Amino acid sequence: MRMTPSVKVILIINVVFYVLTYWITPFFALDGHTDWFLNFNALHPIGYGGFAIYQYITYMFMHGGWWHLFFNMWSLMIFGNAVEQQVGTRRFWFYYLTCGIGSALVNQFITYLGIIPPSQLVGASGAIYGVMAAAAFFFPNARLFIIPIPFPIKLKYLVGFYTLVEMYLGITSIDGVAHFAHLGGILVGAIILFVWHMQQKNQTQQGGGYYRNATSSYNSSHYDKEEGLWDKLKKGFGGKRTPKMRVTNVRETNYADHEYNRKKVQDNEEIDRILDKIRKNGYQNLSDSEKATLFNASKRMRGEE
């Protein structure tokens, strides 16, 4: 599985924190407490001692054990890659961290109300549930096989089912799992997605930007066309291009040689700029003219023009 930049970095940080927590720092125990690194980075309840602001960030890279880490990172790879490709690296970082912080705030608020007892909070689950919500928003009809369900289930139904289960367990269960933090990640993620949705909609109404209907089918013909183009672009524009480009199919032109070469250099520089924009902000943020430029360039590379 090829990972996107943010997903790769997040996974590495979580693994490093796990190794530090359980394999390295116990050898440097302070006053005999081998779990001091975990206590230092876990999010403590406000008013109970040990709380620090930085813990809103560090807690989401800590885990209570190997299986806790494994399932969170596996879910991140399944859903995070698709979401980051959709929104871009910068927005994905913002979304991931905001969902993680928001889930912690929701959990602390529920603790303040006395619904759940105060306890330390660790794990990326809140941020991961936010990523799952984003995946369901962008690809609602994508089908997944989930053990032990013997048939594929649409992503929108899967996330809806998880939401109901977390609500039920949060109210009825005392199992040491931060169910309300999971719900908080979904809630904060939904708010962010709604804001982005309205921004894209307003840009489209004003004649700028591009908005993909996120409620349309993942397998719809509209999305398939764009996905096919994106796959071709990834193959055709995997990296930066040098101005010297081998041309296999050149139309007759009235340009002099130096004019033609100058134009090709300009075209290649424009393609590089658009590809940089895709890597930073996602394909959906390209303008119609930029998409047309990439589409025409892809056709030329295949010799269709």
- Which are the contacts of 75, defined by CB distance < 8 A and separation ≥ 6? 128, 131, 132
Residue 60 has pLDDT above 70, yes or no: yes
- Exposure of 123 by Cβ count < 10 A (0-12 exposed, 13-18 middle, 19+ buried)? buried
The mean-pLDDT minimum among 133-147, 160-174, 184-198, 291-305 falls in: 291-305
Q: Among 87-96, 111-120, 252-261, where is mean pLDDT lowest? A: 252-261
What single-letter DSSP state applies at residue 212?
A: -
Domain ranges of the chain: 5-205, 221-301
As a whole-number percent, the residues of the chain with pLDDT over 70 amount to 79
Tokens 């596996």 belong to residue: 74
pLDDT of residue 298: 72
The CA–CA distances, whole Å, from 264 to 246, 249, 302 equal: 11, 13, 17
Q: Domain 5-205 class?
A: mainly alpha
Going by pLDDT thresholds of 50, 70 and 90, the confidence category of residue 304 is very low
Q: What is the pTM of this model?
A: 0.70
d(CA 83, CA 7): 10
Residue-wise pLDDT tens digits, 245-254: 343 443 444 4
* Average pLDDT estimate for 100-124: 95
